[in-house]
Amino acid sequence: MKKVLIIAYYFPPSGGAGVQRTLKFVKYLPEFGWQPLVLSAENADYPALDESLLAEIPPDTPVYRSKIVEPYSLYRRLTGQKGAATDIAVLSRDPARPLSTRERLSELIRSTFFIPDARIGWYPFAVSLGKKIIAREKIDLIYSSAPPYTTHLIGRALHRSSRLPWVADFRDSWIGWLSAPQWRPGCSRALEKWMERVVLRDSNRILAVSAGVKADLLSRQPDLKDERWEILTNGYDSRDLLVPPVAKSDRLTITYTGSLYGHRNPETLVAALEMLHEESPCLAERIQVRLIGRIAPIFERRIESSTVQNRFTLIPYLSHSESLSYLKGTDLALLIIDDAPANRGILTGKLFEYIGAGRPVLALAPEGDAADLIRSNGFGCVVHPQDKDHLLAVLREFAQKWPQPPLQAVAAERTRPFERRRLTECLASIFNSMIPERPTPAPEEIG
């Protein structure tokens, strides 16, 4: 069996959406002739923990964890946000409130020195351990998954030292994306652009989860458009969806699973429900929204001060299986993608779990990859994320029809191409195309 070294910062016991793609590849690759060995971080400062995911790692999968120097505990001390989840602390603020001196200083430090991201303190330790793993385990191929983009720098260093083929997998694009600082000083931005370029230039194969991610990366590196690029979407694991559904109320239930922070904002939904409540309280009463996961405090305060606060149920972060149980027991699965040019290429893992569960999707999303996928496959309804009037009309129609289903259930045959095991088979085929066949030893002559 051939061996692949998988470099991933987000790996169990980390929770959240960023874990699932890599974890499922690790889970299913042995079925297709590849033994994964994982290089991750030890005692990392994860925004969420889900130790139940550890059970999904095949028992014979070696998982190596190297030291990491994380800056976010210092960041939280500087900003006074002790205990806040890292991503929410960094990306969610009230735009009407001016930054304090400590916050401005911490943002300047983050944008100037944490290049390509705040995980750069993992780089020297991961490279050192990675070289030892490659030498000891006789690795055939290197695979790195980003964000964080430090993983690709680690993959590049190991590729250059070992001369092994290297696959760089982009779950998000890079410069200017939600997971990267929107602003940097000139010299810091120049260094980040150089990092992005050398990763794309030196990798033997480049994977992107969507055409939009690929297009965004190539918009800055158009001369690197060649045959190395592959689109390999996110997906769902049908085995995960065997969990029983959580019983819902007798109202039209809309469920969101995941984090809400930064520009991923429920404001349009809150405002549309307020408008519906004002024109017809009895129709608004037929709707219940469940928001499951980490929510920025500013969004919580907005909901709690709303005239429709009783239409929302806020449920703290749950394990992956618990979250899927709530998803299976819903009438509509809510997707929120804010309207930013880079985000039009987003195809989140959340969307594929929604459709894998057979739940119709109510998407607040701009025109782009997600909207196209939903419409072309009959997966649900798409509303522009800032169009309160359109969303009001949709909610009014759904409430008037209730208890009739607001949308048709997702057809199973349309979801099968996005099953994680099938996608892993595609990944294994890509790996195989990069490794020359080992010759079969000739039988020894007799006599």
Q: In angstroms, rounded to a whole number, what is the distance separating the alpha carbons of residues 206 and 22?
A: 15
Q: What are phi and psi of 354, to 5 degrees?
A: -60, -50
Based on the domain organization, do 244 and 230 belong to the same domain? no
Instruction: Spell 429-443 as b/e; 16+ CB within 10 A means b.
Output: eebeeeeeeeeeeee
Query: DSSP code of 236?
Result: B
For residue 59, say if its preceding peptide bond is cis, omega within 30 degrees of 0: no
Residue 308 lies in a domain: yes
Based on the domain organization, do 408 and 426 belong to the same domain? no
Residue 208 lies in a domain: yes
Based on the domain organization, do 155 and 230 belong to the same domain? yes
Q: The domain spanning residue 341 has which CATH number?
A: 3.40.50.2000
Based on the domain organization, do 206 and 293 belong to the same domain? no
Please name the residues in contact with 157: beta carbons below 8 A apart, sequence gap of 6 or more. Answer: 123, 127, 130
Based on the domain organization, do 353 and 374 belong to the same domain? yes
Based on the domain organization, do 291 and 309 belong to the same domain? yes
CA distances (Å), origin 175, targets 41, 44, 146: 23, 24, 12
Which residue, 302, 257, 314, 284, is CA-closest to 392?
A: 284
Based on the domain organization, do 155 and 210 belong to the same domain? yes
Q: In angstroms, rounded to a whole number, what is the distance separating the alpha carbons of residues 364 and 247?
A: 25
Domain membership of residue 19 as a residue range = 2-71+114-235+420-434
Q: In angstroms, rounded to a whole number, what is the distance separating the alpha carbons of residues 188 and 114?
A: 9
Which residue, 389, 379, 416, 255, is CA-closest to 325?
A: 255
Based on the domain organization, do 321 and 231 belong to the same domain? no
Q: What is the pTM of this model?
A: 0.86
Domain count, the chain: 2
The predicted pLDDT at position 445 comes to 42
Instruction: Spell 273-301 as b/e; 16+ CB within 10 A means b.
Output: bbbbbeeeeebbebbbbbbbbbbbebbee
Based on the domain organization, do 343 and 296 belong to the same domain? yes
Residue 16 lies in a domain: yes
Based on the domain organization, do 217 and 318 belong to the same domain? no
Q: Rounded to the nearest 5 degrees, what angle is found at the Cα of 207, between the Cα atoms of 139 and 233?
A: 120
Please state the separation of Cα 318 from the chain's center in Å: 16
The predicted pLDDT at position 105 comes to 66
For residue 13, say if its preceding peptide bond is cis, omega within 30 degrees of 0: yes
Contact 139, 39 (CB under 8 A): no
Based on the domain organization, do 305 and 363 belong to the same domain? yes
Residue 82 lies in a domain: no
The predicted pLDDT at position 181 comes to 72
Based on the domain organization, do 337 and 407 belong to the same domain? yes
Low-confidence stretches of the chain (pLDDT beneath 50): 84-90, 440, 445-447
